[in-house]
Amino acid sequence: MNWNSRRITAILSNALLEDQATRDATTLATVDPQQKAVGTILAKEDCVLAGIASIQRILEVFAELEGESRGYPEVSIPQEMFDGVRVRKGDALASVRHNGRVLLSCERVILNLMQHLSGIATMARRYTDAVEGTGVKILDTRKTVPGLRLLEKYAVRCGGGFNHRLDLSDGILVKNNHIDLAGSVRVAVERALANRKGEQPVEVEVRDMKELDAALKYGAESILLDNLDVAQTREAVARVRKEAREMKIESSGGVTVENARQYAEAGVDYISVGALTHSARFVNLSMRIEPA
């Protein structure tokens, strides 16, 4: 993750502006402008860490917004703390020596981002642990918070998952609404194959065995099984392997941490889980700020 990229900088800048961090009324009224402080970020529960490099970048973006230099933040991160590592309740994740006003004004943005990304990474790790040893890859989806997709998909990778399409231009996925508007699986798939750009693969989402048979017959290059139960998934995999042994098969819909291994053992190659990004809760982190 390049935390200095223009897109990431814009996300962090908007977060600070949303919180009016440069106009922190309480801090400006109570803390001496020259006060030095040390902030220590602590894990309040076991989790998988993600977003630790954002600490430095958020403080730098704050300085750019404020237009005033208060010195360079000294961010100290223990060698054993890095994105993707499992941390335990009570672990010190990082410490920051900097101007006290700046630390107080940036505290909530730093914690919000790290808690959100670490929550996603933690959930992704639970799913990847659930299918360990099967060879199945856990994928995310486009069910992300508007504006935060790059960061959320990065957090999925921190948890051992993989990224599906980044956006609508990133490959062809013929879904049920495309099929309904085109009139049939055949028409939708034939149009996709005729109109794709370059080597874009054509994946087709199917809701039952009839749509699966049509997708295979008319040229689908990979299959997404939508909301099929485990028994139906096993049957669908058998049909696909009979027709096209090397075709990739993805399951989506209704997959939980508890049943993910059953789906994996049904023979699919991928399991995509929208909950990784749309339902992951914040993990509990805190920042203790003390005079330097």
Give the containing element (helix H, strand E) for 167. none
Considering the candidates 70, 142, 143, 248, report the single residue annotated as catalytic: 143
Residue 71, pLDDT > 90, answer: no
Rounded to whole angstroms, the Cα distance separating 187 from 196 reads 14
Rounded to whole angstroms, the Cα distance separating 239 from 42 reads 51
Examine the residue annotation and report whether 44 is marked as an active-site residue of this protein.
no
Residue 31, pLDDT > 80, answer: yes
Examine the residue annotation and report whether 175 is marked as an active-site residue of this protein.
yes
Examine the residue annotation and report whether 205 is marked as an active-site residue of this protein.
yes
Q: For 140-179, what is each residue's pLDDT tens digit? A: 999 999 999 999 999 999 999 999 999 999 999 999 999 9
| DSSP bridge pairs for 40 | 95, 288
Examine the residue annotation and report whether 143 is marked as an active-site residue of this protein.
yes
Examine the residue annotation and report whether 210 is marked as an active-site residue of this protein.
no
Residue 69, pLDDT > 90, answer: no
Considering the candidates 226, 250, 261, 269, report the single residue annotated as catalytic: 226
Q: For 108-129, what is each residue's pLDDT tens digit? A: 999 999 999 999 999 999 999 9
Helix (H, G, I), strand (E, B) or coil at 93: strand
Q: Which residue has the higher pLDDT, 1 or 182?
A: 182
pLDDT of residue 200: 87
Residue 244, pLDDT > 80, answer: no
Residue 245, pLDDT > 80, answer: no
Considering the candidates 24, 107, 152, 205, report the single residue annotated as catalytic: 205
Considering the candidates 97, 108, 165, 207, report the single residue annotated as catalytic: 108
pLDDT of residue 198: 85
Return the closest-CA partner of residue 77 out of 50, 113, 41.
Answer: 41
Considering the candidates 70, 97, 175, 186, report the single residue annotated as catalytic: 175
- With contact defined as beta carbons under 8 Å apart, do 179 and 185 qualify? yes
Structural domains in the chain, sorted by start: 6-128+280-291 (3.90.1170.20), 131-278 (3.20.20.70)
pTM score, whole prediction: 0.96
